[in-house]
Amino acid sequence: MFHKVLSAEWAKLRNNRIVFPVILAPTLILLLQYVNFKIRYTSVVKEGDIPWTIFIEQHAVIWAVLILPILAAVLSSMLIMNENSENNWKYLLALPIKRRDVYFAKITLVIFFLLVSSILLGIGILGSAFILQLPGDIQYSQLIQTLCAALIGAFAVLTIQFWLSIKFDNPGIPLAVSICGTVAAIFLLQSALTRWLPWVYPYLVLPIRLNEGINITWYMGQSVVVGLLCLIIGYREFAHRDI
């Protein structure tokens, strides 16, 4: 039954503009870093640095701290917007399908689109580096590890945003939470006192030089555990809600 619900949710996206944020998010970072390296190459890459490593890290930090958490919130809101508008939940849940299948089909699609967006960023980084003619060997392993780590670190934020998007009919509430959490993470991510904040996890799990001395594996595990807890709590709240 789950795959049928997943197919039905996918079919709903024909008239949905969800593809725009999926493409736009990595494109903005690619353009920003292309201009940054084109104009300020000698300032960004110091003597002794590996250009490919610096190039990947510069993309990864902005992607993990700023873009990925907000993208998770935007995608969650867009996928649930149809059901929240005019209370379409009543019509959807009146069908002979389980709420569990509906909940997990929708969040599976959000994860899929985040994965697609990350892949586009990875391909774009390679293309952008070739255009800039970066010297040295291509750091495929570092690129894949960094993008995968950011996705794992964003899992807790994703489940929180998805839960809020289903709970509140007004999409402004989960988006406001996302913006506040992201802004707090930007200003507080270097503080050891605020490393419990889920919006900081996508940065703390990055295998970059700025995170030397930080137990990346610990924060990956923390993101997964917090994410699973929020996923279960969100589903239970949705399953027992009187719609």
Q: What are the tens digits of pLDDT across the range 162-178?
A: 999 988 888 889 999 99
Residue 79 to residue 105: CA distance in whole angstroms: 10
Contacts of 74 (CB under 8 A, 6+ apart): 21, 175, 178
The string of pLDDT tens digits covering residues 201-233 is 999 999 988 888 888 999 999 999 999 999 999
Query: Exposure of 242 by Cβ count < 10 A (0-12 exposed, 13-18 middle, 19+ buried)?
Result: exposed
Average pLDDT in the chain: 89
Using CA atoms, how far residue 24 sits from 72, 92, 117, in Å, is: 13, 30, 9
pTM summary value:
0.91
Cβ-contact 106, 80 below 8 angstroms: yes
- pLDDT score for 143: 94
Mean pLDDT of the 22-40 span: 94
Share of the chain above pLDDT 70, in %: 99
137: left (phi over 0), alpha (psi -120 to 50) or beta: beta
Residue 16 confidence (pLDDT)? 72
